[in-house]
Structure 1
Amino acid sequence: MSGGFKGFFQRLGRIGSSRHKRRIHYIKAEMVGLRRQMAVTLELAGGAEARRVAALPPRTPLSETEFKVYSQFGDDGIIQYLISHLPAVPTFVEFGVEDYTEANTRFLLAHNQWRGLILDGRPDLDAVVAAQGLPMLYDLEVRSAFITAENINDLILGAGFSGEIGLLSIDIDGNDYWVWRAITCVQPQIVVAEYNAVFGPDRAVTIPYSPAFERSQAHHSYLYFGASLRALCRLAEEKGYAFVGCNQAGNNAYFVRQDLSGSFQVVSPEAGFVDSRFRESRDEQGRMNRLAGAARLEAIADLPVADLESGQTIPLRDLRSR
């Protein structure tokens, strides 16, 4: 036998390897096809839900409008309800999107055909989103950048967005308050901003500003980030927005520009506050320990927050004594 047993097994290995590669390619193609079919099914169901919430009367509580297609919780429904009662400008900016498979604006992109900009700190964002085919199918700009209060306006303007837009979605697990405060280049009709329910409903507090802030490095629990609902409501009022409620999961707050808010039920921070329903905390070894209730605040009680009403920086534990 030419080449002996060694050559025979090498040739057999090459044949097996070739078949294995073809099999992997086939499986990947099947998975892409399945994902596309699932997306079509989801978007068809989402379209029916979008028509349902669009037919709801003005001043409907946001809790009655929720449904999920691409959002993490029921935010797709809330957004569809809000835009159905506005002369909405069909553009959005969202930052803090991770790989954009789960985001507040993806249904706007796919269902409503809005033009959009997404930003995230992950360096491979463009490649990840391109692999999903989105920039070829839709009018979507993608930018990788670590977002700060100093660079956010340049990032948005550099992508070709300015002036009035339909929606701004903020979820960077850190300097959310400070970055929103810094934005002047766009005037959104609707703002979706993540709040930290662990900080409670009563005080206007946020983490002190640090351009390099990263939630995973700030504290092992992952509970120390962002701003309280009252802090965001305070900032919203300064910027000319009305607070219209939170999602039922207790992580996103919704604001509509005051000149457009007449169709919506405007609520106070006390009435609109929703405590978070999810448990995502970790112990010092990085293991999920799923703290709930007051134990969450106790885990980060010695860390500092900026009290926006007093102008002082205080330990979180002082929130319970004032």
Structure 2
Amino acid sequence: MIIRKYIEFFKSLRKKFFNPLLEQFLLILNKLEAIQESLGRIEFRQTRDDNSLGLLSHEFRVFSQWGEDGIIQYLVNTVEINHKTFVEFGVEDYTECNTKFLLINNNWTGLVIDSDSDCIERIKKNKIYWSYNLKAIEAFVTQDNINSILQTNGFKGDIGLLSIDIDGNDYWIWKAITVINPIIVIIEYNYRFDSSIAVTIPYHENFDRQKAHHSMIYFGASLKALCLLGKEKGYDFIGCCSSGVNAFFIRQDKRPNYLKILTPEEGYVMGKFCEFRDEQGSLKKMTPHQEKEFLQNLDLPLIQVN
């Protein structure tokens, strides 16, 4: 992730002037990124044959924010998937994301979506965009346009994986999707809502986490709400990553017996990171429990999911 940002920075310098040392440094950075990818492949080989272990034991990180790369590799190599395609939205510049290693290591076909035009431009200028079958689309995803975006770009019916991380209307967007039928769904949950309640923020087409509340922790849905929605859409909840960010679902007709169905209480993981901002917008250190209590005491609307 950091390596790629340095690569892009030094590439921008190269446009202004040529320097042999700069060229050598760029070469080293590119090799470091290749080594990073290779380490991910090695870690995957060490865990792929053991189906008795839970999701957390398969975690490793190459391009994902946390351990999602390893879990994804475990799932796509143990679950029957005929259409090796993915959709991911909320990818920013595709430096840190859930599907980049899947694209490079497994040569899948994918569609990535982000609302930031600069981020999409950076993706299209990256070598990865031209080396693999990847589409990058600038769009602000809503429940009214998501299906047309997918269909217009050639994604419909069965696909291998869907990853949703938009820090807001995640529940409502997944609920609205009907034109694709992914086998694996990865979706962000807000651990501060606990595992015992099924709630989500109300749908607001232009929801912006930064504007909704200064704390930055009012967004998304609880794990239980997503589990209920998953069941309604024909998916089994099989666990979360160890960071307490993403939940994993498998389509019921494709779930192997060794992937145990979990309740929200069984699979819930509380996040250990701090994202809280004070009224001046500065990061303020609070424990996960303090963030959780703060959010529960906020007088902000939530919708109970049945």
* CA offset digits 1:38-96 (Å, max 9, x no partner): 22101111111122222112x42111110000000000000011111112231100000
Would you say 1:63 and 2:56 are equivalent positions? yes
Which residue of 204, 228, 238 maps to 1:234?
228
Cα separation, 1, equivalents of 2:144 and 2:38: 41
Partner of 2:194: 200
TM-score if structure 1 supplies the norm length?
0.86
Shift of 1:266: 1.5
* CA offset digits 1:124-180 (Å, max 9, x no partner): 233201232122100000001111111111111111111100000000000000000
* Other structure's SS at 1:235 match: helix
Partner of 1:127: 121
Over 3 Å counting, the alpha-carbon distance change for 1:187 and 1:289 in structure 2 is same
Cα separation, 2, equivalents of 1:206 and 1:176: 9
Partner of 1:72: 65
Shift of 1:277: 1.2
The CA RMSD over aligned residues, in Å, is: 1.7
Would you say 1:81 and 2:78 are equivalent positions? no
Would you say 1:184 and 2:178 are equivalent positions? yes
* Other structure's SS at 2:255 match: helix
Partner of 2:302: 305
Shift of 1:210: 0.2
Partner of 1:287: 282
Shift of 1:303: 1.2
How many residues align? The count is 289
Which residue of 100, 104, 115 maps to 1:110?
104
Over 3 Å counting, the alpha-carbon distance change for 1:22 and 1:287 in structure 2 is closer
* Other structure's SS at 2:144 match: coil
Instruction: Mark the runs of 5 or more structure 2 residues left unpaired by the alignment.
Output: 1-13
* Other structure's SS at 1:243 match: strand
Which residue of 151, 167, 175 maps to 1:173?
167
Over 3 Å counting, the alpha-carbon distance change for 1:168 and 1:31 in structure 2 is farther
* CA offset digits 1:85-132 (Å, max 9, x no partner): 112231100000011100000000010000000001101233201232
Shift of 1:297: 3.2
Q: Which has the larger radius of gyration?
A: 1
Q: Percent identity?
A: 45
- For the 8 Å contact 2:271–2:288, the answer to whether it is kept is no
TM-score if structure 2 supplies the norm length?
0.90
Instruction: Mark the runs of 5 or more structure 1 residues left unpaired by the alignment.
Output: 1-19, 310-322
- For the 8 Å contact 1:60–1:264, the answer to whether it is kept is no
AA partner of residue 65 (structure 1): H
Cα separation, 2, equivalents of 1:41 and 1:105: 18
The equivalences for 1:88-167 within 5 A come to 88=81, 89-167=83-161
AA partner of residue 223 (structure 1): I
Over 3 Å counting, the alpha-carbon distance change for 1:110 and 1:248 in structure 2 is same
Cα separation, 1, equivalents of 2:115 and 2:279: 25
Shift of 1:21: 8.0
Cα separation, 2, equivalents of 1:171 and 1:238: 20
